[in-house]
Structure formats: C-alpha cells, structure tokens
Amino acid sequence: MIDKNKTKILLIDDNPKNLQIAMNILSSEGYKLIYAKDSEKGLYLAQNDDFDLILLDVLMPGIDGYTICTKLKNNPKTQDIPIIFLTVKDEEQDIIKGFECGGVDYVTKPFQVAVLLKRVETHLTLAQQTKKLKQLNQDLNRQVHDQVEKIRLKDQILFQQSKMVSMGEMIANIAHQWRQPLTAISAALVGIKTKVHLKKFDLKTEEGSKAFEDYLTKKFDDIQEYIDTLSTTVDDFRYFFRPKKDKEHFELQHIVDKSIKLLEEGIDMSSIKIIKEIEPITMIGLKNELSQVLINLLKNAYDAFENKSNQNAKEIKIKAANIDKTIHIYIQDNAGGIDTEVLPKIFEPYFTTKHQSNGTGLGLYMVSEIIQKHMKGHIYVENISYTIDNLTYKGVQFHIEIQGGV
Ligand SMILES: Nc1ncnc2c1ncn2[C@@H]1O[C@H](COP(=O)(O)OP(=O)(O)O)[C@@H](O)[C@H]1O
Ligand SMILES: [Mg+2]
C-alpha cells in the first residue's frame, strides 16, 4: 500500500490550467505536490529534491519533456523515479518516443480523473515493489559475497594448517636425521676424553705424540663431517619452507631428486625401488610448492606399502614429460590401490584411512590446493594395474598436469 501523505509528486507543465486541474485531482487524494511552470525549473527541482513520481508535459518552451526525461534517466540519483508523460497528442509516434526515452506511461490531456489517479497509483506501487526487489537483490548479493569470503578464509586457514602439519613432519624428519650424527659426535668426544684421561698416548715420546696427533686429526675430521651433515639438513629444510611466491626456473629432475632425498631423510625407503622416467625438463614456476606436492604423493605411496611386508617387489615410478609446454607428471605405485568407495573422497580435508598411524588427511588436500589454485593445473587419480616381471599388481596413479614448461 502507498502512503499518499508521504508520497511526493512533481508536476512539470507550462500550461497553468492543466497544472491547476492536475493539482486539484491529486491533492484531493492526499498526495504532496510540487509544481514547476517551466522546464528548467522542473529539471532543477527533479535533480535536487526527492520525488516518488514525476508527471511531465511533452511540449514546453525551452527544454522539452523528452530531453528532461532522458537527463533524469541518465542520472543514478533520479533514474528510478517513474515518469508519466502528459500529452495532448496521443499519436503513436509521440507515445513510442516517450517510452524510448524512459517514460513508464502517458496520460492524455484533458485529464480523465479516474485514469490519472489509477495510473499514478499503479506506477507508485510498481516503483515501490521494484525498490524492494532491488534491496532484496542487494541483500542477497551481499550474503553470497559474505559466504564466499567465509569459505575462502576457511580454505586459507585449512591450507595453512596442512602446511604446518607437513612442516611438523619435516621437523620430525630432521630430528630423526640429526640423532645419528649427534650420537656420533658425542661418542667421538667421549672417546677422546677417555684416551686423554687414561693417558693412552705416551706424549713424552715422539712416536706417542705422532700417534696422538693422528688420532685427533682423524676424530676432528669425523666430527667435521658429522657437523656438515647437520648443517646440510638444516639448509635443505630452510630452503624447503622458504616462503617464495616468485616463479623460478628449475630442472624438474632436480626437484624430484631433492624431494626423494628430503623424504628419505626421515623414513627408510630401502625396500622400495624408485624408478624415474623423467625427460630433461626445464620449468618455470613455484619450485618449492611442487616439491611439497611430490613429497606428499611419495609419502602416501610409501605409507601404502606399510602393510605389504610380504610383497616382494615394491615400486614407485615417477614419469614426466613436456607436451607442448604442458608438464605431465605421473606417480605410480604397486601398493594395492584405493578402494572405490574411498577414491572420490581422498582430496577432502581431514579424510584419512590411516587412523592407527596418525594420518591427518591434509596431505592430498594441500596437494590439490597447490596444483589447482596456486598452479592452475589439474590432478587426477586412478587405480591401475602395475606389472613387474610378468606379475601384475594393483596400484594407484596420480597424474598432474601443469603449465610452466619452457
Ligand atoms: N598411493 C596411495 N595408495 C593408497 N591409498 C592412498 C594413496 N595415496 C593416498 N591414499 C589414500 O588417501 C588418503 C588421504 O591421503 P592424505 O590426504 O595424504 O592423508 P593421510 O596421508 O594423512 O591419510 C589416505 O589416507 C589413503 O587412504
Ligand atoms: Mg598423506
């Protein structure tokens, strides 16, 4: 329903008689009316006040009604105000022109009271409903935008979380890898101390001094070697997690080797044969992120062999080719494959079948985020049969497709 007392109508007509009649009809209905006797004033009022509807004469000295209408329709502030033309001529051409420049209706003069009132009321109602719809649409748009933003934020947090998990795994690898050289350094120091304490070398003789010197040199060399190992591990680790968003040139073969090495530092891969069929490929892209992808896929293949202790031949095959600058990387294993019910879920965050061995279910989520969002590529997974020495095994193949070949 329209609240007529709050509805403001602007009347623009140069004919005082017409003005008077229209004013009378509309005011008696309770509408608030403002009028303009000439078109300049009318345009000024329309642009500087707030109206719910405008009744506009077509033929006036100065600016004509069509021009005023066009001007108002081109201004965001006034474009939604319904404009009804007042015309003496009801010839088709004029009516069409009025609609073309944005008028919603026309009323012919002299006015028929009922018709004028009905048209005014109809267009006020329509305008009110359009406004409501517009508002609703805006609200919906905002809600959609808010939801999308929320999801994006959640994705970001999840990705960060998976990165922390893989960082945690790497730290565990480092700790594991440090244990052996640290023990060796400690043993070497205890050895030296004991020898000195027990006076194992007769330092008074030249022979004894020489033997002691040789002994120390050997031990110091050993210690130096252990320290070098410790240092390399830390460098590898720092390199791996250095947040580097810039694209770099690199050799794919090198990244594959580095990823295997980083993985092998933490776990014993000796029972698994790793086969590489990799073309020499120079790439430009996110090198460290690609390495994280490879480590996750290789680690999953390794994990899949966990309960296959009786299986003789265990293989992971990494293949790579550059086809028209699209890089295809395949990682295959013969560790049994993935159940078909499970297969569609493996990229979901927190999906894991490794409940006993503390799986996080974030590895493949991170992999798919990196491949799809950061590298704008694709990753596919399927169960395959894998043949070694005429024996066929079940296994999994991950196929990565990314741009970046040079
Ligand atoms: N090569 C594979 N062979 C068999 N199952 C796999 C393989 N790779 C992934 N999966 C399955 O996908 C699941 C999700 O992997 P991932 O996201 O890395 O999480 P997580 O390794 O912590 O379980 C694994 O729990 C496993 O069931
Ligand atoms: Mg995993």
What's the average model confidence in pLDDT over 246-260? 90
What's the average model confidence in pLDDT over 31-46? 95
Q: Are residue 104 and residue 166 in the same domain, yes or no? A: no
Look at residue 118 and tell me if it is in a domain. no
pTM for this prediction: 0.61
pLDDT at 130 over 90: yes
Ligand nearest, relative to CA of residue 357: 1
What's the average model confidence in pLDDT over 192-196? 91
Q: Are residue 107 and residue 178 in the same domain, yes or no? A: no
Backbone φ, ψ for residue 112 (5° rounding): -100, 120
Look at residue 344 and tell me if it is in a domain. yes
Ligand nearest, relative to CA of residue 317: 1
Q: Are residue 170 and residue 81 in the same domain, yes or no? A: no
Q: Say what the pLDDT of residue 175 is.
A: 79
Q: Say what the pLDDT of residue 248 is.
A: 85
CATH code of residue 87? 3.40.50.2300
User: Which range marks the domain in which residue 176 is found?
Assistant: 161-403
Q: Say what the pLDDT of residue 80 is.
A: 94
Look at residue 151 and tell me if it is in a domain. no
What's the average model confidence in pLDDT over 131-148? 95
The strand pairing partners of 385, in sequence order, are 394
Look at residue 128 and tell me if it is in a domain. no
The closest-lying atom of ligand 1 relative to the alpha carbon of residue 360 is 22
Beta strand extents in 212-292 (DSSP E only): 248-251, 273-278, 282-285
Domain total for the chain?
A: 2
Q: Are residue 106 and residue 254 in the same domain, yes or no? A: no
**Ligand 2 mean position, distance from CA 297 (Å):** 7
The closest-lying atom of ligand 1 relative to the alpha carbon of residue 342 is 27
**Closest residue CA from atom 1 of ligand 1:** 301
Q: Are residue 187 and residue 292 in the same domain, yes or no? A: yes
**Closest residue CA from atom 24 of ligand 1:** 352
Look at residue 135 and tell me if it is in a domain. no
Look at residue 203 and tell me if it is in a domain. yes
**Ligand 1 neighbour 300 (Cβ under 6 A):** yes
Q: Are residue 186 and residue 79 in the same domain, yes or no? A: no
Q: Say what the pLDDT of residue 36 is.
A: 95
- More confident site: 162 or 84: 84
CATH code of residue 281? 3.30.565.10
Q: Say what the pLDDT of residue 287 is.
A: 86
Confidence of residue 350 (pLDDT cuts 50, 70, 90): confident
What's the average model confidence in pLDDT over 82-107? 88
What's the average model confidence in pLDDT over 251-280? 89
* pLDDT, the chain, mean: 90
Look at residue 132 and tell me if it is in a domain. no
Look at residue 148 and tell me if it is in a domain. no
Confidence of residue 243 (pLDDT cuts 50, 70, 90): low
Q: Are residue 173 and residue 91 in the same domain, yes or no? A: no
Return the exposure string of 72-95: e unless at least 16 CB atoms fall within 10 Å of the residue's CB, then b. Answer: beeeeebeebbbbbbbeeeeeebb
Confidence of residue 263 (pLDDT cuts 50, 70, 90): confident
